[in-house]
Amino acid sequence: MTSRNTLRNVLVLVSALALVVSLVALPAAAERGDDSGRASKNGMTTGEAGGAEVTVEFGRPKVKGRTIWGGLVPHGKVWRTGADEATTITFGSDVTVEGEALSAGTYSLFTIPGEDEWTVIFNNTAEQWGAYDYDDGEDALRVTVEPREGEMVEEMDFAIDDGHVVLRWEEVEVPFEVSAAE
């Protein structure tokens, strides 16, 4: 074997090794940035909804005396559903959301708030900042749900209760049903 072939083989081996290391280092879900200098701290909710493992990662804005719905968060426009990076939702297995099929994986979670109904959007581009680069062509699923009145929640949160993922902020709750696919 010539020294040229040996060098080429070493370079191929090093390149292959670098590729394997980079793939192993990829996160299973989108990771939120450092929140030490942010007004809205990071939040994470993990649990089981309808037999499916669910994790929601989000920025936690505060009400701070502001008008939220129809004010800070306009009706009829795509919202990142939190602060800073887009909120992400990870399903550990194939699921149905409001009866519609959705594959296991991590999605950005956007919403379009309305007074009487909300659109909940699961977008294939999990890692993005806010909704600035939101592309509806990347939507994996959209469902429509009804918001309900809730108790005052100063800092936005998510809960996983009784087969539902529930967004809670201000005096509004937005539940959507999740169950493991059969």
For the chain, which residues make up each domain, given as ranges? 41-180
Greatest alpha-carbon pair distance for the chain in Å reads 76
What pLDDT shows up at residue 12?
44
Q: Which residues 6+ apart lie within 8 Å of 52 measured at CB?
A: 91, 92, 93, 95, 178, 179, 180
Average pLDDT, consecutive stretches of 10 residues, N- to C-terminus, the chain (182 residues): 55 41 37 67 90 95 95 94 90 98 97 97 82 82 98 96 95 97 88
What pLDDT shows up at residue 77?
95
User: 0.85 cut: is pTM over it?
Assistant: no
What pLDDT shows up at residue 42?
78
What pLDDT shows up at residue 22?
35
What pLDDT shows up at residue 21?
35
